[in-house]
Amino acid sequence: MSMKKEITNHLTNDLIPFWKKLKDEEFGGFYGYVDYNGTIEKDYEKGCILNSRIIWFFSNAYLLLKDPSLLEYARHGYEFLKEHFYDKEFGGVYWSVNCDGTVKTSMKHTYNQVFAIYGLSSYYLASGDKEALSLALDIFNTVESKCKDEYGYMEEFTREFQVSRNDALSENGVMAEKTMNTLLHVAEGYTELYRASKDSVVKEKLEKILRIITDKIYNREKKHQEVFFDKAYNSLIDLYSYGHDIETSWLIDKTVKVLDEDEYKELIYPITEEMCHQVYITAFDGHSLANECDKGYIDENRIWWVQAETVLGFLNQYEKTGSPDYLIAAKKVWMFIKAHIIDTRPEGTGEWFYCVNKSGNVEKPLPIAEPWKCPYHNGRMCFEVIKKDYL
């Protein structure tokens, strides 16, 4: 069976049915936690990132498969976001709500805002609901007016958009004022919004983001992105995130394709090609991709989202260069995912395990779904592969 056929079957027989089961018919939205054994915790908080990504997932599944039930699930998520996550007084979306939709964590984060934009834009493209596009543009304007300084995009705020410590997106022992991860997904959310709206202001902001990536984020000497920064985009730590680099290598290329201007193709394509190749020769073992290298120490864990992005990064590089090595590598990673990442236990969920070791074994029973674990990376891998005729 071809890779494309296998992934189509996995999407339709495993991922979509799993996430449909998380629809909360009582309070709305989608349940926020499924433990390692597949038990749904219905009283767990609902994260806005999780629910925004689920809206995105069902919207794009509908656009691809044309099953009307998928659009209904997207609509269900949209109604909950609009009624419970959106702050009608101060603008933007909350970080999380309780299971019944009452506010739990009222802080605002740029990362969270742009995923709401992402989900809303995709829902508009799927449904034609102009109210969703209007809400996406409203949150975009909030980000542009409340979440920026003279250098770029700030990160964490109070409900009223007063700057606070970036606890949500800081890791590896540093407190970062700005992160590569947030900027990458600002670009992603704005790219989807531009596809939906063709708004010239959105386009202008996207072009400026590309310049920040090339001038501040990308380390041309090391051929990879820096990760955590101070206010002025000075790097704070010697960290090489293989997963984010392989994700960026194809995702920013997608932004350039949407902009469709030679200037940005000439600016970005050489960098993303170099970045992907560096990951290939540094972190790929012939079967799967390591997580990151922190001050010289390599984390060999195989994280679910890193493997999904590796498939797409290598396929994108194959399309750019024609080198069969990247096509072979992408297929090898899919084989690893099938064998070790997808939960195929007799009582399994069909979703992906959070993390396995280098040999493909689960060492710690982490949740199957939680505020950061959703059908975004693996769902997107499925959507993109299914669109490729050569697979």
Cβ atoms of 215 and 271 closer than 8 Å: no
Beta bridge partners of 178: 229
Domain ranges of the chain: 3-386
**Number of helical (H) and strand (E) elements in the chain, helices listed first:** 13, 14
pLDDT of residue 337: 98
Q: Which band of pLDDT confidence, cut at 50, 70 and 90, is reported for residue 381?
A: very high
Residue-wise over 249-261: b if at least 16 C-beta within 10 A, else e? Answer: bbbbbbbbebbee
Supply the mean pLDDT for the chain: 97
Q: Positive or negative CA dihedral for 325, 327, 333, 338?
A: negative
Q: Which band of pLDDT confidence, cut at 50, 70 and 90, is reported for residue 166?
A: very high
Residue-wise over 308-335: b if at least 16 C-beta within 10 A, else e? Answer: bbbbbbbbbbbebeeeeebbebbebbbe
pLDDT of residue 85: 98
As a whole-number percent, the residues of the chain with pLDDT over 90 amount to: 99
Query: What values do phi and psi take at 18, rounded to 5?
Result: -60, -50
pLDDT of residue 224: 98
Write the DSSP symbol of residue 99.
T
**pLDDT tens digits, residue range 317-342?**
999 999 999 999 999 999 999 999 99
At 129, list the tokens: 């609901």
Helices (H), 11-67: 16-20, 48-65
Beta bridge partners of 218: 225
- In this prediction, residues 28-41 reach a mean pLDDT of 97
Compute the distance between CA of residue 222 and CA of residue 229 in angstroms, rounded to an integer.
Answer: 16
pLDDT of residue 167: 93
Residue 176 makes CB contacts below 8 A (sequence gap 6+) with 155, 166, 169, 170, 228, 229, 230, 236
Query: What values do phi and psi take at 229, rounded to 5?
Result: -135, 160
Q: Give the gyration radius of the chain's Cα atoms.
A: 20
pTM: 0.97
Angle at 309 between CA 334 and CA 222, to 5 degrees: 120
Query: What values do phi and psi take at 31, rounded to 5?
Result: -55, 150
pLDDT of residue 223: 97
Task: Look at residues 160, 168, 77 and name the one whose alpha carbon lies nearest to residue 120.
Answer: 77
Helices (H), 198-233: 200-212
Q: Give first-to-last CA distance, the chain, whole Å.
A: 10
Length of the chain as a residue count:
391
- In this prediction, residues 103-115 reach a mean pLDDT of 98
* CATH code for the domain defined by 3-386: 1.50.10.10
- In this prediction, residues 37-49 reach a mean pLDDT of 98
pLDDT of residue 363: 94
Cβ atoms of 95 and 167 closer than 8 Å: no
Q: What is the DSSP string of 305-374?
A: HHHHHHHHHHHHHHHHH--HHHHHHHHHHHHHIIIIIB--STT--SSB-SEE-TTS---S---SBBTTBS
